[in-house]
């Protein structure tokens, strides 16, 4: 992003009622244009929020960091440079670089790195997300050794830094800028503006400032990861045209100069193990495609690919069927094909799908594609639900097939499903799956509100707040944690502020069971839902209209008597009920 683009983005009008997002910038240098870049990149990540980036005092990294703990911002951005570990490691300092000073510099640096790790641990415990960039500028030539030789000072300092990076990187909600990615985007030799540093105290060249701002903004507010990948087969998953060379004539190896197809399969396999759904859209004979996918030397196991749409119709038709089978939105899916025409046809039918070419004749471009996929599907942690996502999709498919032709799901079918529900009201320890589900679910979503970690913790720390997390399984298999409900009690009235349920759990009357448990557990007279219609939460509106007997207002009031009259019978066995 160029500076003029950042300024234009910062100046754009905000939507009415935009809520504030306060980011504390912790650095010891003059923030200069970096502050503008940070504002712009955060605005790009959070287009509905009013962004404020507040720096500390010049030269006061550690004092600013201490004030962050007390100020409780929405996020903290820490840009640490060598001079923050000891002023003598900066060019603007008059401190000496004599050989006798090196041990003292090293002692100070170690102490500062320990202090940093301990402070960030407290920030993590307080629910304040932070993005941390460790030194990005060249280390000054303070040691007495020649620059081509790693001296004892360098060799002692860098393990201390690496240890601090490891400690910090393991903290939940504390993201560390990946130095390898930063090096790819902003080479070390192109970062330091010595003239600007000496003249004004701003050490970065503008391209480096923009790149660094982009990376920390994505650490503070990561883009939602994609959920599914649909791939072509011929000259994409493998080298060769299946209909011409047969299943045995396909290749993905060094001997046939087609190993980048193997690298692509390796990436897809890794994504699948991390919970990404994989499907196939191919113009091929279905039986032949299945033979090829089942080859014993395939790196991508056949069992992880579902569904496989192989026929001679349009690729967009295949994509539509796969989206329906997965029951996810087009904006959560990536489609990959070696043919520009096929990509264009799918893009025209589904503008929200991310369509990427497979550059079969360019190994360098394929390597870039693999990095792009890691970015599109990457997440900070893996949950139990990630491990069972594919199985839960197959479970949901079995459920749909069993109910086909019945119209509404019959009570006999639901009774025979052997459904088991786990209800957890525990607010501590914090379950990361709850916030993840809340921030990515669209169809059954009470109002579409997204929460930052800080906002979520503020709600849960309210003594009047309740949290309900629902897990589900039946004879078809487990779905994992599929619903989250949060609100505040006031006497015998519960105001529900957030309620989401995975689309995989539709038609099982789980929402009825949640309300039933809430009325009984807290002896409620009324539940008030903060319902707001969105472009995608039609299933929520339909459920509320069904249970209320009329179109829901905002908010909508459900009395105990009305629920008793309109509720549906549930057949779930409560497997476990965890108290809060």
Q: Give residue 328's pLDDT.
A: 84
DSSP-assigned states of every residue in 204-267: B-HHHHHHHHHHHHHHHSPPPPP-EEEE--BTTTBBS-HHHH-GGG-B-STTTT-HHHHHHHHH
pLDDT at 447 over 70: yes
Mean pLDDT of 327-333: 90
Q: Give residue 126's pLDDT.
A: 82
Which domains does the chain carry?
3-220 (3.40.50.1110), 228-377 (3.40.50.1000), 408-578 (3.40.630.30)
pLDDT at 24 over 50: yes
pLDDT at 394 over 80: no
Residue scoring higher pLDDT (476 or 560): 560
Among 293-302, 353-362, 388-397, 560-569, the range scoring the smallest mean pLDDT is 388-397
Among 98-107, 262-271, 384-393, 546-555, the range scoring the smallest mean pLDDT is 384-393
pTM: 0.81
Q: Give residue 293's pLDDT.
A: 97
Cβ-count burial 174-212 (b if 16+ within 10 Å, e if not): bbbbeeeebeeebeeeebbbeebbeeebbbbbbebbbbb
Question: d(Cα 113, Cα 402) in Å, to the nearest integer?
Answer: 59
Mean pLDDT of 60-78: 91
Residues 274-329 have pLDDT tens digits of 989 999 999 999 999 999 999 999 999 999 999 999 999 999 999 999 998 888 88
Among 257-271, 500-514, 565-579, the range scoring the smallest mean pLDDT is 565-579
* Predicted confidence band of residue 406 (pLDDT cuts 50, 70, 90): very low
pLDDT at 5 over 70: yes
- CA angle in degrees (0–180, nearest 5) for 277-279-280: 165
Smallest CA-to-CA distance from 135 within 158, 108, 102 is with 158
Mean pLDDT of 342-347: 97
Q: Give residue 405's pLDDT.
A: 44
**The pair of three-digit structure tokens given for residue 545, joined into one six-digit string:** 């209209």
Question: d(Cα 468, Cα 446) in Å, to the nearest integer?
Answer: 14
Q: Give residue 407's pLDDT.
A: 45
Q: Give residue 113's pLDDT.
A: 97
Question: d(Cα 311, Cα 172) in Å, to the nearest integer?
Answer: 46
Question: d(Cα 338, Cα 356) in Å, to the nearest integer?
Answer: 9
Smallest CA-to-CA distance from 231 within 115, 51, 358, 376 is with 358
Mean pLDDT of 398-410: 56
Residues 103-133 have pLDDT tens digits of 999 999 999 999 999 999 999 888 888 999 9
- The verdict on whether omega for the bond into residue 375 sits within 30 degrees of 0, i.e. cis, is no
pLDDT at 472 over 50: yes
Residue that has been written with the tokens 């790009």 in this structure = 44
* Predicted confidence band of residue 452 (pLDDT cuts 50, 70, 90): confident
Q: Give residue 408's pLDDT.
A: 59
Q: Give residue 475's pLDDT.
A: 83
* Residues, the chain: 580
3-class secondary-structure state, position 203: coil
Mean pLDDT of 214-243: 94
Residues 52-68 have pLDDT tens digits of 999 999 999 999 999 99
pLDDT at 399 over 70: no
Kindly calculate the radius of gyration of the chain based on its CA atoms and give it in whole angstroms: 27
Residue scoring higher pLDDT (395 or 135): 135
Asked whether the beta carbons of 226 and 268 are under 8 A apart, the reply is: no
Residue scoring higher pLDDT (377 or 72): 377
3-class secondary-structure state, position 574: strand
Q: Give residue 580's pLDDT.
A: 59
* Predicted confidence band of residue 395 (pLDDT cuts 50, 70, 90): low
């Amino acid at each position: 992003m160029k500076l003029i683009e950042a300024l234009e983005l910062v100046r754009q009008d905000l939507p009415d009622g935009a809520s504030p997002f306060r980011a504390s910038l912790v650095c010891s240098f003059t923030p200069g244009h970096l502050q503008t870049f940070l504002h712009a990149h955060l605005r790009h990540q959070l287009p509905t929020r009013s962004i404020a980036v507040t720096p500390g005092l010049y030269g006061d990294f550690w004092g600013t960091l201490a004030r962050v703990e007390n100020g409780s911002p929405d996020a903290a951005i820490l840009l640490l440079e060598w001079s923050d570990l000891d002023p003598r490691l900066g060019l603007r300092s008059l401190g000496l670089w004599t050989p006798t000073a090196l041990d003292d510099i090293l002692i100070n640096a170690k102490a500062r790195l320990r202090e940093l790790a301990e402070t960030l641990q407290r920030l993590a415990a307080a629910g304040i997300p932070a993005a941390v960039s460790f030194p990005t500028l060249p280390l000054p030539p303070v040691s007495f050794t020649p620059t081509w030789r790693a001296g004892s000072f360098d060799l002692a300092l860098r393990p201390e830094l690496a240890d601090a990076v490891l400690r910090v990187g393991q903290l939940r909600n504390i993201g560390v800028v990946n130095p390898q990615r930063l090096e790819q985007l902003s080479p070390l030799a192109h970062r330091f503006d010595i003239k600007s540093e000496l003249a004004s105290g701003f050490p970065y060249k503008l391209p480096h400032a923009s790149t660094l701002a982009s990376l920390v903004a994505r650490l503070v507010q990561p883009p939602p990861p994609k959920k599914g990948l649909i791939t072509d087969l011929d000259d994409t998953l493998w080298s060769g045209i299946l209909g011409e060379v047969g299943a045995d004539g396909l290749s993905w190896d060094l001997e046939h100069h087609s190993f980048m197809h193997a690298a692509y399969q390796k990436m897809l396999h890794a994504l699948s193990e991390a919970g990404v759904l994989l499907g196939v859209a191919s113009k091929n004979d279905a039986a032949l495609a299945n033979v090829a996918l089942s080859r014993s030397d395939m790196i991508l196991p056949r069992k992880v690919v579902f569904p496989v749409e192989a026929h001679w119709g349009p690729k967009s038709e295949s994509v539509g069927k796969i989206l329906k089978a997965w029951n996810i939105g087009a904006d959560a899916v990536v489609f990959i094909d070696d043919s520009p025409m096929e990509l264009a046809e799918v893009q025209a039918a589904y503008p929200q799908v991310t369509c990427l070419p497979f550059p079969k004749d360019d190994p360098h471009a394929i390597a870039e594609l693999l990095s792009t996929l890691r970015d599109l599907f990457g997440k900070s942690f893996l949950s139990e639900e990630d491990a069972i996502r594919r199985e839960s999709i197959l479970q949901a498919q079995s459920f749909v097939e069993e109910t086909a032709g019945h119209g509404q799901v019959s009570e006999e079918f639901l009774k025979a499903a052997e459904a088991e529900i786990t209800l957890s009201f525990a607010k501590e320890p914090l379950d990361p799956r709850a916030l993840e589900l809340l921030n990515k679910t669209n169809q059954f979503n009470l109002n579409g509100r997204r929460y930052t970690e800080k906002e979520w913790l503020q709600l849960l720390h309210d003594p009047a707040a309740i949290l309900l997390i629902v897990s589900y399984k039946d004879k078809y298999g487990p779905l994992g944690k599929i619903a989250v409900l949060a609100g505040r009690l006031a006497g015998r009235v519960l105001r529900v502020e957030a309620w989401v349920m995975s689309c995989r759990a539709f038609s099982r009357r789980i929402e009825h069971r949640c309300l039933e448990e809430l009325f009984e557990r807290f002896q409620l007279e009324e539940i008030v839902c903060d319902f707001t219609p969105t472009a995608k939460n039609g299933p929520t509106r339909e459920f509320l209209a069904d249970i209320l007997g009329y179109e829901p207002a905002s908010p909508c009031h459900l009395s105990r008597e009305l629920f008793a009259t309109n509720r549906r019978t549930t057949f779930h066995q409560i497997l476990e009920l965890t108290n809060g």
